[in-house]
Structures are given as structure tokens and as C-alpha cells.
Structure 1
Amino acid sequence: MKNILFFLVTLVTALGFAFIVHEWMLQYNDPGYVLIGVGHWAMETSLIVFTVGLIISFFIFYVLFRILGWLIRLPGKIKTRGKSVKFNRSQDALIAGLVDSAEGNWERAERTLIKHASNSGAPLIHYLTAARAAHSRGAMDKRDEYLRRATKDAPGSEMAVGLTQAELNLSQKQFNQALETLTKLHSIDSSHASVLKLLHQTYQQLGDWKAIRSLLPAFYENKVFMEAEVRLLEVETYSVLLKEASEHADAREIQELWDSVPEHVKTMSGVPAIYYAAMIEAGAGANIEQELIKSLNNKWDMTLLVLFGSVQSIDFRGQLEMAEKWLLQHGNDAILLRVLGKISIKCEFSEKAKKYLAKSIGVEPTVEAYRILGNFLAQEGDQERASECYKLGLELASTQVISVASEM
């Protein structure tokens, strides 16, 4: 409408200007004329008629060329309009598909999303959402087909497609397939937080704690988890690795692993106990005896105390003297008294062993104290007292089992 109005205003202005010039020339009694000759033909007219004709011809040709240009552009406009309509429909389909997927209408969501994916400005979202919908309804072939089409129709989407594939594999407990995909993604971007998080889940499910250990620095650097979570994961990782190493009963392997444990993990509660127990199990308890004593002096711990009593020391008497020093501060500790009795047996101090074990039972009866005292009395040939210890130990164990069962 604005263009038509502009056109008319310009035409009227031009004609008005021509009329003014004509009136001005009339005052000289000479309106002017124009003569055009072509071969034997000649045309003569007044200046005003020629000017008006020229102006009208210009505007006629202008209109004709504008109409011609519009006709030339018409197919492109129709095509663009069609694309715009299809694009809008695809956007509506995407929203509808996401809503259906959220509501659990998997098949309808899948059908809606795929139908309009080729016309969408974000085909990747269509295909990935459709793949999840197909996965949810158990159509694994369709799921894989949509993921392949996503890679083909959305260049540069390898990371998004790969992460979706890995997540779906993990949900189906297809850990090896997930690991294969994630390993490829990790080679593309070793610092990608989502890849690292899924790798952690996969390795944890596969029980590959050595692989998890190799990822720990990346967890810190890329803030995959909160710092507190990474520290807990470190404790869990090295604890499991130490337990696995203890199964091999190889003291050198255990020691090398312990040397690689970060210092802040070594000080975490429970971790040193696993290391000491592994070394004792491997027959290398004497190697960690002094370190175990140092740990007990720094922090009194019942688990470490029991392990101290299991150390095959090269100097049992020195071990007994060390334990007796602790009596000054922990004289009524039933576990310490039991450990003293156990070490006294190794030192062949018969009376001292009986005294410590009896005192331990007096402070707090335990099945283990009854068992150690019973075994020792049996070795000495005192079967009657040994049987009494076994009987009391069994009664105590039965009482504890009943108490636990009643609490459940």
C-alpha cells in the first residue's frame, strides 16, 4: 500500500511540475514544440504533450518492470513460504514429540518426531528424542537407525549422539558396548565432563577400579564431581584396589600400590587398616609393624589394635612391651587386654596370657577372647576349662545372633 501511494504521489508531482513549466512558457507566447524525425517519418508535438507523454511512459515501463521482477521472484517466494510452513510445523512437532515422550507416549512421540525431522532447524533433537522413545518401548533396531540418521543429518554431532548411545547402553546394562562408545568419545575430548562421568559409571559396573584410578586427576581438573565426592571416590577406589591386591598375597604388589596412594587418602579412616591387613595376610606383617605402632600412637583405633595383635613380629617380646605401655592410658580396654593375651601366648608367657585374657573377659566378654583362651587351655591339656570357655563363647555368640535377629 505504501509503494502504491508513493508511486501516485510521484506521478502527480511530475505532472504538476510539467504543467507549471507549461504555464510559465505561455507568458512568452511560445509553448515550445518537439520534432522527431526517423527516415521519411516526422512527428511534431508541443513540449507539454511530449513531456507528459514521456513521464507517463516512464511510469508505465517502471510498473511493467516491477511486475516482471515480481513474477521472476514468485517461484522462490512460494518455495520459501513452503519451507517456512514446514519449519513451523516441525517446531510444533518437536514440542508435541517432547511432551508425548515426557508423558510416556513413546510410539506417538517417535512417529511425530521422525515425520518432521528433515524440515527442522534442529534435526538432531528430533532423532535423539525419537531414539530414546524407541529405546523405551524396546525397539532397539529403530533406536540404532535413528542414531545413525542423527549422525548423518547433523554433522558434528558425534559427541551428542555418542553420549546418548552410551546412556541407553548403560540403562540396558550393556556395559561393554557403552565402554566402546565412551572410549571413542574420550579420545575425541578427554576433558568432556559428561564422558568422564559416564566412564566412571561404566568402569564401576565392570569393576575396573584401576581404570577409575586413572581418571581421578581428570575428575579434579574438569570438576566432574564436587571435590568432596572425588575425595570419597578416591578412598573407595584405593580401598578396593588394596583389597584386590590382598587376594594375590603379594607383599611387593601391595607395597607398590600403597606407595602410589595420595597422602590425604592414607590418612582417611579405614584405609590404613586395609593396607595393614593386606600386608599381614601376605605374611609381611613385620614390615609394617612400626608404621602400625605409629598409627596407634597418633590415633587409638580398635581395628588397628586387633591387626597389631595379628602381626607376625620378629620380636614378640618387644611387641608385648609396646602393648603393655598402652595399658597406662587404656588399662580397661578389653580389646587391648585380649591382644596382650594373644601376644603373651606367642611369647610363651603362659600365666601372663591367662591373666590378660581373663581380665579382658571380665571387662567385656567376647567370643574371640573365649576362643583364644579355650584354644590355649586345650594346648596345655586343660580340657575341662577349655570346654567351659568354648561353651561360654557359643552361648555369647547365640545371644548376639538372637539380639540382631530381634532388632531386624
Structure 2
Amino acid sequence: MMRWLFIIALALLVGGSMIWLASIDPGFVLITYHQWHLETSLIVFIVMLMILIITVYMLLRGTVALLGVRQNWSAWRLVQRRQKVHQSLTEGLLSLASGQWLVAEKALLRHASRSETPLLHYLSAARAAQLQGAIERRDNYLRLAGEMTTETDITTGVVHAELLIEAEQKEQALIILTELYQQQPKHPHVLRLLQQLYTELKSWHAIQGMLPDLRKRKILANDEVDELAVDIQRGQLVAATAEDDWVTVGQLWQDMPKKIRYQAVIMEAYINALMRQQREVEAAPLIEAFMNTQWSDALVYHYGLINLENGEAQLRRAQTWLKQNEKSAALLLTLGRLAAKIDDYRQAVAYMQQSLVIAEQGVTYQALADLHWQQGDQKQAALESYRKGLQLMLS
């Protein structure tokens, strides 16, 4: 308000001064340009000049205002476009999370080409397509996502590998992860996915080579790496045993660190390999030494299948384990078998019946039935045990 009052006062002052000057001396102005002449009084010239200046000023102000309106219109349209993109992305992600996969796919693609993050749209659409079993559409969206990433950006590759793993296309996933690992060997998620995939594929040698990186990069906790190292050794033993590759079994056992060698699962796998080679004499002392400090029902079970020359000594050794493991059905079955080997029928039956009280197992009924049958006069008891064992095995 004060500003406008000041301008009006100034205008009145200037106008009054000009009228006063004009009454004293109106002045004379002559402008010529080639044959063109303009004659007027000074006062009229000044008024015309001020009108011209004001007109030019108003034109400039109008032009600036018009440009501002256009710019504001463009900005408004941009905001509206971004809101639509954001709404479609939000709708797509929420639909994907709620299991509406077709709705999610359509929403994610609606404004993907206008989005500032088209990669997120296409990768999420690829997941929605896979959940519908539309593998071709999935691959197409992954291709579009790949076109928007640089060679050093492995985001698309990681998501592609995850989707392939979920779709049980593990060999293809392995190819992609191997390439990603070569590009970025320190990337934690690539390392984790590769380790999980190698484990599922039982590629024990490949996982073994990754152990230092898994520990160094903190991909797995130290105790998890230690557990994985045990799983690797066991997996290699089991694989070699399945192929009757006894040279590899022996080499693995010899090269194995002691702290791993005397893990229960490792000892069980190695004893199983020895038993398949009928190397019972070597298996027995390993089992006995293991039982001095640890316990394994699986190893106890194997011990009952071993035939040593001194069967009575073998039975006495197994009986010493009964003091701390009297509730072990596997140990009682083994004691029954060892008693039967030295023809102590009454004690063998007693041990097996105790085992069945603790845990009814088909294999125990089978052993008891065989024992009854060998006695000749226990045919009915044998048939009853066979029947119960068969029922358990079929249930």
C-alpha cells in the first residue's frame, strides 16, 4: 500500500513539474531521418517517450508472465505424470505382494516407459510373470531390464538368477551366477546365491573353493562356515561311496583335518564306506574309539553288523556303553544282535524286546523274527514279529 502511494505521489510531482516547465518554456524537439521529420514540443516528446517505455515494459511483463504460465503448465503435467507412474508402481508392488500376479504385471507395465526407475518396473513384472508360469513374458521383461543397465550393473543378472532358481532352472542360474562372480567376485549376494546353488547341486569341490571368500567377506558366520566345511567333506565321501570309488574315499579320509574327521556325520559316512567294502575289521576300532568321547546311534547300529573273531569281547565292549545310554533303542538292538552271534538266545531276545519298548522299529522286529525262526520251535513268534515289522515299514 505504501509503495503505491509513493509511486502516485512521485507521478504527481513529476507531472506537476513538467506542466510548470511547459508554462515557462514548452521547448522544441526535431527528429530527422533521411526525408522523414518529426517536430514537437519537448513536453509532448517526453510524454510520448514515457508512454513508449511503459508500453514496452508492459509487453515484456506480459511475455514473461506467458512464459511462466507455460512453464508452470509443463511442471504441473510433469508432476501429474510422475504421480501416475508412482501410483501404478505402488499398485503393482502391492498386488504382487498380495498374490494378484496378473493385476500386478499390468500395473507395473502401464507406465514403465515413462518411469524414472523402469528397471524396478520390469524386474517386478518379470517376477509376476514367472509366478503365473509365463516364462516367455518373464524373459522378455528381463531382456528389457537388461537393456537399461550398464555392463557393471549386475542387478538384472542377480534377479534373473533368483528367478531361475525359483523356477528350478538351476543349470541356467549357475551359468549366470558364474558370470556375475567373474565380474564382481566380492559381491556378497552373488557369493551367497552361488554357495546355496552349489550346495543344492552337490558341487562339493566348487563350494570348497569358495570357503575362504565366504569367511573373509562375512557372507556366513564362522560357525556356519565350519558346518559347511563338514557338509562338504561328508558330501564328497557319500558321493565317492555311491560310485564305489574307494581310492577317493581313502584319499579324502587321509587329507581330512582331524577336527572334521571326528565329527559324527563324517565318521558315519566313512564307516558306511568301510562296511560297503567289507572292511569291518578296520571299522570296529574306529567306532569303539569314537564312542569313548561321543555318541552316535548310526555308528552303534553299524557296530552290531560287524563280525569280529572274539564275539564275547565285542559284546562286553558294547555293554559298557549301556551305562550312559540305557534308553538307546539302537544300542539295545546291537546288543541283541551281538548276543545272538555268540548263541545267547535268551539274552538276545531280552535286549531286542527292550529296544522295542523304547522304540518300535521295523528293523528290530525283523531281527527278532529272524532270531525266533532260527530256534525252530518259535515259528509262531517269528511270524508275529514279521507281521508287526511289515506293518511298521508300510505305515
Output the TM-score relative to the length of structure 1. 0.68
1:324 CA displacement: 3.9
What is the aligned counterpart of 2:390 among 393, 401, 404? Answer: 401
Q: Does the Cα contact within 8 Å between 1:93 and 1:116 map onto a contact in 2?
A: yes
In 2, the alpha carbon distance for the partners of 1:394 and 1:148 equals 66
* More deviation, 206-215/29-38: 29-38
1:243-283 deviation digits (Å, cap 9, x = unpaired): 21222334442243345656665554443222222234335
Which one-letter code corresponds to 1:16 in the other structure? A
Aligned residues: 374
Matches within 5 A, 1:229-248: 235-248=230-243
In 2, the alpha carbon distance for the partners of 1:329 and 1:107 equals 62
* Matched residue SS, 1:364: helix
In 2, the alpha carbon distance for the partners of 1:397 and 1:223 equals 54
Q: Does the Cα contact within 8 Å between 1:219 and 1:225 map onto a contact in 2?
A: yes
Query: 1:88 aligned to 2:83?
Result: yes
Which residue number in structure 2 is paired with residue 16 of structure 1? 9
Q: Does the Cα contact within 8 Å between 2:149 and 2:156 map onto a contact in 1?
A: no
1:298 CA displacement: 1.3
In 2, the alpha carbon distance for the partners of 1:256 and 1:312 equals 26
* Matched residue SS, 1:354: coil
* Matched residue SS, 2:136: helix
* More deviation, 148-157/170-179: 148-157
Q: Does the Cα contact within 8 Å between 1:280 and 1:312 map onto a contact in 2?
A: no
1:122 CA displacement: 1.7
What is the aligned counterpart of 2:184 among 180, 189, 200? Answer: 189
Among the aligned pairs, what percent are the same residue?
Answer: 24
1:118 CA displacement: 1.1
1:61 CA displacement: 2.7
Matches within 5 A, 1:270-281: 270-281=265-276
In 2, the alpha carbon distance for the partners of 1:68 and 1:28 equals 36
In 2, the alpha carbon distance for the partners of 1:243 and 1:166 equals 28
* Matched residue SS, 1:299: coil
Label 1:61 to 1:296 Cα distance change in 2 as closer, same or farther (>3 A).
Answer: same
Which residue number in structure 1 is paired with residue 156 of structure 2? 161
What is the aligned counterpart of 1:143 among 125, 138, 142? Answer: 138
In 2, the alpha carbon distance for the partners of 1:233 and 1:34 equals 106
Label 1:57 to 1:89 Cα distance change in 2 as closer, same or farther (>3 A).
Answer: same
In 1, the alpha carbon distance for the partners of 2:279 and 2:351 equals 32
Which residue number in structure 2 is paired with residue 359 of structure 1? 347
What is the aligned counterpart of 1:180 among 175, 181, 185? Answer: 175
In 2, the alpha carbon distance for the partners of 1:268 and 1:258 equals 12
Output the TM-score relative to the length of structure 2. 0.70
* More deviation, 271-280/196-205: 196-205
Structure 1 residues not aligned, in runs of 5+: 346-352, 375-383
In 1, the alpha carbon distance for the partners of 2:102 and 2:319 equals 73
1:290 CA displacement: 4.5
1:30 CA displacement: 10
In 2, the alpha carbon distance for the partners of 1:306 and 1:89 equals 68
Which residue number in structure 2 is paired with residue 381 of structure 1? none
Matches within 5 A, 1:111-130: 111-130=106-125
1:271-317 deviation digits (Å, cap 9, x = unpaired): 3222222234335555565443321211354433444465688xx56
* More deviation, 227-236/294-303: 227-236
In 1, the alpha carbon distance for the partners of 2:351 and 2:209 equals 48
Which one-letter code corresponds to 1:361 in the other structure? V
* More deviation, 94-103/181-190: 94-103
What is the aligned counterpart of 1:293 among 273, 288, 292? Answer: 288
Label 1:84 to 1:249 Cα distance change in 2 as closer, same or farther (>3 A).
Answer: same
Which one-letter code corresponds to 2:83 in the other structure? N
1:142 CA displacement: 2.4
1:99 CA displacement: 4.1
In 1, the alpha carbon distance for the partners of 2:338 and 2:97 equals 65
* Matched residue SS, 1:190: coil
Label 1:261 to 1:24 Cα distance change in 2 as closer, same or farther (>3 A).
Answer: farther
1:370-391 deviation digits (Å, cap 9, x = unpaired): 75x79xxxxxxxxx96645888
Matches within 5 A, 1:335-354: 337=335, 353-354=342-343
* Matched residue SS, 2:42: strand
Query: 1:98 aligned to 2:85?
Result: no
Label 1:362 to 1:260 Cα distance change in 2 as closer, same or farther (>3 A).
Answer: same
Label 1:124 to 1:33 Cα distance change in 2 as closer, same or farther (>3 A).
Answer: farther
1:101-122 deviation digits (Å, cap 9, x = unpaired): 4455544443343231111122
* More deviation, 59-68/269-278: 59-68
In 2, the alpha carbon distance for the partners of 1:87 and 1:304 equals 67
In 1, the alpha carbon distance for the partners of 2:25 and 2:285 equals 127
Which one-letter code corresponds to 1:126 in the other structure? H
Label 1:338 to 1:157 Cα distance change in 2 as closer, same or farther (>3 A).
Answer: same
In 1, the alpha carbon distance for the partners of 2:271 and 2:26 equals 122
